[in-house]
Amino acid sequence: MNDFPKSPMKVSRSKGTKLLVVCVLAVLMAIPALLVFALLMERTHRAEGVAREIGSQMGGEQVFLGPVIQVPYAIAPRLSTDEKGNRITLPQETGHLIVFPAKGLAKVATKSEVRSRSIFRVPVYEASLKFNASFDLKDVAASHPGAVLMWDKAQLLTGASDSRGARKDIVAHINGLATTVAPAGAGAPGVTPDGQDLDLFAAGLGTLDPNANLTVDVDMVFTGSEKIGILAYGKSSETTVTGDWPYPSFGGGFLPATRDTSKTGFTANWSVPFIARGLPAVIDRDQLASLGKSELSVTFVEPTNPYQSVGRSLKYAMLFVGLVFLTYFLFESTSKKELHPAQYILVGLAQITFYLLLLSFAERIGFDAAFFVAAGATVLLIAGYAGLVFHSKWRFAAAMGVFSGLYGLIYILMRMEDYALLVGAVSAFLVIAAVMILTRNINWYGTKES
């Protein structure tokens, strides 16, 4: 029997089918990419856990409250009416008023270093804080009509989010007289911006004259880690923070009015007027948690932290796996060699392994060096594989050029935080346009052409 003639449509149709298979394989590479992402999250959580452990020994992310005055008050029982118009007697009320200074000045100087545990690094600091407060008490009584203020039991209060970071006793100068500040017992709940309690420290003021002005200076020395914050404790507050950390990040409720950063350190100045703070000059102690919105903070950023950059690169993993697959498909379409889907899977797994290499080396030798090692090894592997399977030195050279450009683009995307999406979108558009032009003459349906 004669063999049936080979269909001229078989090869052409297989190209269209093969492209669909390649696209499906590229999507399936999301499964190992998700496993790598899960590993990245595990390493990130481990690094955060180490930061918390070291931070707990140093005081953690510290937030400080400058000097304010606490005055107990009482409101005698009084007659009132309920919703139905019935006369009722309201019981006696007691509480504490918090009096903010008319002017609050804070100067903070930090000395930083890096503490390491295994491969994890955490920025820590020692801060010298100097607070100055000028009080005008004449209008305090008018803020709570009917209340009897107990000026003889008034106290000076300051605070920190973690008293374990104290390195010296807190000394306050009240109208020039020095006094030591002691723990106040019950702290202030939820005062810090993240809702944590504030440890309060107190000093007695004796019998305070409400008609006299009061000037207070407070000196503190505390340690902490990663971030330091100052609450805007005055009706009008000015804060200056200086330090030797070259990578500060400024945040909180207000950004600094002026800032100066260099390789040797930073200086930042805040000025918060009374109207911007959003709190009256006298509040009930229960309202003190609202002060957390006025935090003025500096975060000590660790530039060698590799997890954020690796995570950003993983977001584009499917894009670059697809681009490499398209390159292999173009090589296959312009040669007599047909690749098996298993070979595409091997190439995809090699690209996913790039992220494992990047993460593991970055923890040891830094991100830039790790990227050079991981990208160089991966590009050499997949380009060399292209040269071997297609038996072509020209395709090896072309693959080296194309894949080197792709991994160079990955590096650019990881370093250009603000323009990463724009660069990635434009690059993807240009690559797809190039593929459309290069495949314009392929007879996808396999129909006879004149």
The answer for residues whose C-beta is within 8 angstroms of residue 140's C-beta and 6 or more apart is: 71, 97, 99, 149, 210, 282
Question: Confidence class of residue 231 from pLDDT cuts 50, 70 and 90?
Answer: very high
Question: Using alpha carbons only, how large is the chain's radius of gyration in Å?
Answer: 33
Rounded to whole angstroms, the Cα distance separating 93 from 76 reads: 7
Would you place residue 230 in the very low, low, confident or very high pLDDT band (cuts 50, 70, 90)?
Answer: very high
Rounded Cα gap, residues 88 and 235, in angstroms: 38
Start and end residues for every CATH 2.60.40 domain found in the chain = 60-77+92-300
Q: Which two tokens stand for residue 138?
A: 């004449």
More confident residue, 316 or 439: 316
The CA distance from 73 to 51, in Å, is 43
Chain mean pLDDT for the chain: 82
pLDDT digits (tens, 9 = 90+) for 180-200: 888 887 777 767 777 788 889
* Predicted confidence (pLDDT) at residue 163 exceeds the cutoff of 50: yes
Is the pLDDT at 106 greater than 90? The verdict is yes
Tell me the DSSP string of 351-414: HHHHHHHHHHHHHHH-HHHHHHHHHHHHHHHHHHHHHHHTT-HHHHHHHHHHHHHHHHHHHHHH
Strand partners, 244: none
143 band by pLDDT with thresholds 50, 70 and 90: confident
Q: Are strands 282-284 and 295-300 parallel, antiparallel or unpaired?
A: unpaired
**One CATH from 1.10.357, 2.60.120, 1.10.3470, 2.60.40 for 60-77+92-300:** 2.60.40
Rounded to two decimals, what is the model's pTM? Answer: 0.71
DSSP per-residue codes, 133-177: EEEE-TTHHHHSTT-EE-GGG-EEEEEES-GGGB-S--EEEETTE
Tell me the per-residue pLDDT of 370-422, one tens digit each, with 9 for 90 and over: 889 988 999 999 888 888 888 888 888 888 888 888 888 778 777 766 666 77
- Higher pLDDT: 449 or 343? It is 343
Interatomic CA distance for residues 151 and 75, integer angstroms? 14
Confidence grade of residue 220 (pLDDT, cut at 50, 70, 90): very high
Residue 355 Cα to chain centre, angstroms:
22
Q: Output the CA torsion 182→188→194→195 (10° steps).
A: 150
Above 70 in pLDDT, residue 77? Answer: no
Mean pLDDT (whole number) for 315-320:
79
Q: How many Å apart are CA 66 and CA 61, to the nearest integer?
A: 17
Between CA 252 and CA 261, with CA 257 as vertex, the angle to 5 degrees is 85
pLDDT at 201: 92
CA gap 232, 257 in Å, rounded? 14
DSSP 278-305: ---SEEEGGGGGGGGGGEEEEEE--TT-
Contact status, residue 387 vs residue 331, Cβ threshold 8 Å: no
Residue 292 has pLDDT above 70, yes or no: yes
pLDDT top residue among 378 and 447: 378
Mean pLDDT of 126-146: 87
| pLDDT above 90 for 337 | no
User: Which residues lie closer than 8 Å to 437 by C-beta, 6 or more apart?
Assistant: none
Q: 188, 200 in Cβ contact below 8 A?
A: yes
Q: Is the pLDDT of residue 167 over 50?
A: yes
